[in-house]
A and B are shown apart, each in its own frame.
Chain A
Amino acid sequence: MSALLEAQALSVRINGKALLDSVSLAVEAGESVALVGPNGAGKATLLRALSGEIAASGGAIRLKGRALHTYRPRALALHRAMLSQSVSVSFPFTVAEVVRMGAADMRSTAVDAQVDAALSEVDLSGFQNRIINTLSGGEQLRAHFARVLVQLACGEVLHGPGLLLLDEPTASLDLRHQLDLLAAIRRRAEQGSTIVTVVHDLNLAVLLARRVIVLGRGRIEADGPPQHSITDDVLERVFGVARAVDRFPQPGLPFVLPHGARRTAQAG
C-alpha cells in the first residue's frame, strides 16, 4: 500500500441516484493523473469524494495510508488542496488577501514570499491590490489557482508532498494561460506532489498527464497511459463519438478530432 491516494470500491449515492459505482483507483506519490469523461459521468463527484467534501456511501478512501474520514478538516487541509470549478467571492477582498487565505496562518510574514511566488506563477504579479470581483473570469480562476498553490505549499512545508485536486482548472483560460497552468501542474508533480485534474478537453488531458482515467456513468472505463485509454473504442463506448482519434505526428500521442456523433448515441 504505497499509493498516496487510494480508493477501493468507492460508491456515492445522492438522493438514491448512484453517481459513482464501485470505483477503485490508486495514485502514487508524484503522479499526475487526468480525469476525463462525458457530462454527468461523475468526474466532479469523484473529485469531491476524494477531497473529503462528500461522504462515500460505500467503499473506502485512504490518503497517505490513513482513512480519509478520520482527518479533521484543519489537518486534512495541510495534506490536500482542492480547486473547485466555479468560486465566487461575495465581499470585496483583494487578490492578495484571497491568495493568502490558502495559508493556515494568514498573518504570518513567511507567507508573503509564497503569495508572491504563486501570483507570479499564474501571471498576476501586478494584481495584488485589485479587488478580486473586478477581474475577468479567467483571471479570477488563476487567482484561485494561486490560492490553492499556496495552500499546497504551506502543507508541504509541514508534512511533505501532498495531494492537489483540480476541477476543470483550464475551463475559462485563454490558450497561453492554459499552457502555463499545465506547466505549473507538471512542475508540482516533478517536485513530488500528487495531482488529479479533471479536464474537459481530451487533448489537454493528453498533454497534461502520463495517465488518463476515463469515467463513464460513474464507473472507470479506461485507466492508463493516453495511448491506451484514449482510443477509438473507448471514445465510441463512453462518449458516443466515432472515428475520432488521430496521432500527434511526433510523440505518437493520441489526438482527438471528432468527425461526428455516433448514430446510436443516447440523447443528452
Chain B
Amino acid sequence: MTGTAVSTSAQARRRAAAADVWLFPGLLLLLILAAIVAAGIGAAGIPLSRLPAALGLATSASDPVLLARDQLVLWSIRLPRIAMAGTIGALLAAGGTIMQGLFRNPLADPALVGVSSGGALAAAATIVIGDRLLSGIALPFEMLPAAAFIGALATTLLLHAIATTSGRTSVAVFLLAGLAISALAGAALGLLVFIADDRQLRDITFWMLGSLGGATWNKAAVLTPFLLALLVLIPAIARGLDLMVLGEAEAFHMGVEVERLKRLSIVLVSAMTGAAVSFAGVIGFVGIVVPHLLRLAIGPGHRRLLPASACAGAILLLLADTAARTLAAPAEVPIGVLTALVGAPFFLVLLLRQRGLVGL
C-alpha cells in the first residue's frame, strides 16, 4: 500500500523532470529560430542563403558589394535590435511573473498597473526638465534608465502601500489603484507633452507608444546586467514566490523571510521594468500573456516558470518586433500598440475567467 503510494509521487516528479530536459533546449531552439527570422526579414531583406556569409560564418562566393550591404544592415541595425528585443522581452515577461507571484494575482503586470508609466514619466521628465536645467549639455544616455528605474520603483512602492493593509494585499484595490496611478502618470505625461518642444515631443511620444527603433549595441549592453541579475536571483526568490501563493502568513510559517523577499522582488521588478521602459518605452501585456500561457503548459512553480518566462518573452517580443517593422514597411507600427492590440483582448478573457478571484 505504502509502496504504491511512494511510487506515484516519485513518478510524477520524474515525469516533470523528464519534461524539463526538453523545456529549455526547446525554448532556446525557438529563440534561435525567431532570431534567424528577425535577422532575415525587413526593409532590406537578407535571404537565408546569404545570412551565414553576412554573419561571418561562411565565406561568400557572391557579390562583395552585396555582402558589404548585408553586413552593414545585419551588424549595425538588425543584430542590436534582435539583442534588445530579446532582452527586453525577457525582462518584461519575467518582471510580470515576479509581480504576479508577489501579489498572488495572475493579472498583475508592470505595464498594466502603472509601473511602466511611472518609469516612462520619470524618463520623460528627465528629458524635458533635464533639458531646461542643463541647457546645452547632452545627457548621458544611462541617465534615462536610472530615472525610469526610480520612477518604476516609486510607483511599485506606492501601489504596494495602497493595496496592502495589515499584511494582506487586496487584488481588487491593487488593480484599481494601478489604474488610478496609470491615469495620473498619463496626465503628468500629457502635461510634459504640453510644455515640451518639438524634439522632446518626438522622444516622449516614443515612450508612450513603445518602439525598438533606436536599438544600438550600447543600449543592449546596458540592459544585459539587468538580465544577469534576474538569472542570478531566480534561485533566491523562486521558493519564496511559490510559498507566497498561500499568503504572507503561511509563507512566514514555512520559513520565508517575507519582508526580505518582497523588498528584493520589488527592487528587481522595478529595475527590470525601468530598464526595459527607458530604451523601448511602454510595452504592455507581454508580462501577462507569457506567464499565463506557461503556467498552463509547465505549471506555476517559479523555479521553472521564471527562466521559461524570460525565454518565451524574448521569443514573443522578437516576433512582435519583426511584425511591427514589416507589417506597414517601410513605416513601423509602434510595438506597444501591437502588443496591446493582441494582449488587451487576451487580458479581458483572463479577467472574465478570474472574476471570482478578483471579487468584482
Contact = CB atoms under 8 A, between A and B. Distances in A.
Contact of B12 (A78, A96, A113, A120): A96
Given A72-B257, A97-B301, A128 B12 contact: yes
Given A116-B6, A125-B5, A51 B253 contact: yes
A36 B239 CA distance: 35
Contacts of B5: 116-117, 119-120, 125
Interface stretch (A16-24, A100-108, A174-182, A214-222): A100-108
Contact of A53 (B104, B253, B299): B253
Contacts of B250: 84, 87
Contact of B6 (A52, A84, A102, A112): A112
Interface in A56-98: 72-78, 81-82, 84, 87-94, 96-98
A73 B245 contact: no
A116 B252 contact: no
Interface string A121-152: 00001001100000000000000100000010
A113 B6 contact: yes
Please classify the interface of chain B as helix (H, G, I), strand (E, B), loop, or mixed, using the class held by over half of its residues: helix
Contacts of A81: 253
Given A97-B299, A97-B301, A90 B245 contact: yes
A214 B281 CA distance: 61
A98 B300 CA distance: 11
A94 B9 CA distance: 11
B9 A73 contact: no
B257 A74 contact: yes
A97 B239 CA distance: 12
B242 A73 contact: no
Nearest to B171: A90
Given A73-B257, A76-B255, A128-B8, A116 B106 contact: no
Contacts of B257: 72-74
B243 A73 contact: no
Residue from the set B5, B249, B254, B301 with the largest chain A CB neighbour count within 10 Å: B254
Given A89-B246, A90-B105, A92-B300, A82 B6 contact: no
A192 to B, nearest CB: 21
B254 A151 contact: yes
B292 to A, nearest CB: 10
B29 interface: no
Contacts of A78: 255
B2 interface: yes
B323 interface: no
A117 B6 CA distance: 8
B243 A101 contact: yes
B50 interface: no
A191 interface: no
A125 B253 CA distance: 25
Contact of A101 (B1, B106, B254, B299): B254
Interface string B208-252: 000000000000000000000000000000010011011101101
B12 A93 contact: no
B256 interface: yes
Nearest to A92: B300
Contacts of A106: 239, 242
Contacts of B246: 87-89, 98, 101, 144
19 contacts: A53-B249, A53-B252, A73-B256, A73-B258, A87-B250, A89-B245, A90-B105, A90-B106, A90-B245, A91-B295, A93-B300, A96-B12, A106-B242, A109-B13, A116-B9, A120-B1, A128-B8, A128-B12, A151-B254
Closest 9 CB pairs of A and B: A77-B255, A91-B300, A116-B5, A90-B104, A74-B255, A82-B253, A112-B10, A112-B9, A116-B9
Given A53-B252, A72-B257, 15 more contacts: A73-B256, A73-B257, A74-B257, A77-B255, A93-B242, A94-B299, A97-B299, A97-B301, A101-B242, A109-B13, A112-B10, A113-B6, A116-B2, A119-B9, A125-B5
Interface of A: 48, 51-53, 72-78, 81-82, 84, 87-94, 96-98, 101-102, 104, 106, 109, 112-113, 115-117, 119-120, 125, 128-129, 144, 151
